[in-house]
Structure 1
Amino acid sequence: MLLVSCGDRQTSAKKELLIYCGITMIKPMAEIAAIIEKEYDCKIYITKGGSGNLLKSLKANQLGDLYLPGSDSYIKTCVQEGLVTEAVHVGYNKAAMMTRKGNPRNIPAALESMLDPRYYVVMGNPESGSIGRETKKILVKRGIFDQAVENAKLLTTDSKDLVRVLRDNEADLVINWYATSTWPENRDAVTVLPIDEKYAHRNKLMLGLLKFSKHPEIAKAFMSYAALDKGREIFNKYGLYDVK
């Protein structure tokens, strides 16, 4: 996990907020954080990482103001456990298979490609991040999860590393969040192989207010901005709203 500051620490007088954010959503959240910092004269720090690891961290620390995981299943867990008091819809995530740019191995756009021993397959770990959890859900529905795990050469932590293994020619095939393929730094590195709609659905991105927020009024202002038109435009810019 990494801590991202949207400003400097020159003054300790300002109110400080802490956001736990899944890696795929860090770009729009940092952009909105800069807007809220200016409007409310506050400092916002963003801890980014795999959604599952972030959940473990916020449970252990009992600190922070907002939580944005890569799937609403984590928010549902938080609501059930009393960790989140309210949540708003800010966008969508959808999974896709990805290969190196141009699909040099001519991998078929079928989930069964995850079982082919000719390909170096890397998968997200269901225990550490939302894309791993989503991958498991997709492959279980197709009835091939166990076989895919057996064929995978590596289980990695999060969406960022799933892009990295393709960029560094360390993998032939992954399942990752579609949004990562739209970013400028990744467009020339990956090719998307869409997954059939009956297996890969749009996942709601829900931004939750943590029960131990020290500044809920500012956190709620952040939530309101992110959930309305200007915020949705920002999320859409990074492939996280109008997902087909």
Structure 2
Amino acid sequence: MVALLSQFKFKKAAVLSILLALGVLLAACGSADKGKASEPVELTISAAASLTDALQEIKGKYEAAHEGVTLAFNFGASGALQQQIEQGAPADLFLSAASKNMAALVDKQLIDANKQTNLLANELVVVVPADGGSELASLNDLAKETIGKIAIGIPESVPAGNYAKEALTKAGIWDALQAKTVQAKDVRQVLQFTETGNVDAGFVYRTDALTSEKAKIALTVDPADYPPIVYPIGLVKASKHAEEAEAFYSYLQSAEALDVFKAYGFAAPGSASAK
């Protein structure tokens, strides 16, 4: 009887030891899983070229505060970016320089109407080379013989080019300037053409002009001559990182992000000026 009792106690102790060891092992595994970093995420943001400088600064701030999240920007003309998204190109967010491009994607149910909003505003200006560019009192001065080539974004795909076309049409000189017009793929190329002296004048946003030391603002186009320049932002429904995309979407509307945009000359939608 004593032998059986001792054997029972031994087996009980062995079972308890095994159970205790399993408990420690499971706890260790649980702690390891809990402390394990989530998979790295790369967000692709298709954004109007005029947002390049501001978003690059925001990228550094955001990535430093959000470990594991990388922002990859696809900068270009808003119309071209819209077409890329329509054709299935990967994108998590879209920042357009015109409402119509965002509206087109909402209509095609590629962006949720409840997850898009107007983020920024801007102004249209005419720039000339900084070293001796021509003085301009009005848009009509662009028709003078002293002005040779004029750069403008392709109106069909570049919002700034479309705004410029509307202003020139209202001034009654759009047709007369066609022989002088050099079309560019986006506002940054317009700025480059002007900086290098390949053209005598170019239509860009005020924010683009403020980034350059080789071009200067010769004329601010009357805002009454073209539709309000609004930058909407929206979440792409096909995003594979919806949670992280929405977090960045919200961040871009925060005071910290808006302060960066304002430093580059952008304004809040509905404000009187983007100066």
TM-score range, shorter chain: 0.7 to 0.9
Hey, which of these two has a bigger chunk of helix by percent? 2
1:181 CA drift (Å)? 1.3
1:172 CA drift (Å)? 0.9
1:40 CA drift (Å)? 5.0
RMSD: 2.1
1:28 CA drift (Å)? 1.9
| Cα distance per residue 1:185-228 (max 9 Å; x no partner) | x1343233111232145412111111111112111111111112
1:62 and 1:157 map into 2 onto residues whose CA distance is 19
Match of 2:102 among 41, 64, 75: 75
SS across alignment from 1:82: coil
Match of 1:65 among 83, 87, 92: 92
2:197 and 2:67 map into 1 onto residues whose CA distance is 44
2:202 and 2:127 map into 1 onto residues whose CA distance is 5
2:207 and 2:61 map into 1 onto residues whose CA distance is 22
Q: How many residues align?
A: 229
Partner of 2:188: 160
1:90 CA drift (Å)? 2.3
Is contact 2:86-2:105 (8 Å) kept? no
1:63 and 1:104 map into 2 onto residues whose CA distance is 42
Highest RCO, 1 vs 2 (Cα 8 Å, sep ≥ 6): 1
Counterpart AA for 2:139 = L
Partner of 1:139: 168
SS across alignment from 1:198: helix
TM-score by length of 2: 0.76
Partner of 1:35: 61
**Which has more radius of gyration?**
2
1:16 CA drift (Å)? 1.7
Is contact 2:122-2:274 (8 Å) kept? yes
Please say if 1:18 is aligned against 2:49.
Answer: no
Please say if 1:104 is aligned against 2:137.
Answer: no
Moved over 6 A (4+): none
Percent identity among equivalent residues?
Answer: 22
Is contact 2:63-2:70 (8 Å) kept? yes
Match of 2:73 among 46, 56, 59: 46
Q: Which runs of 5+ in 2 are unaligned?
A: 1-37, 268-272
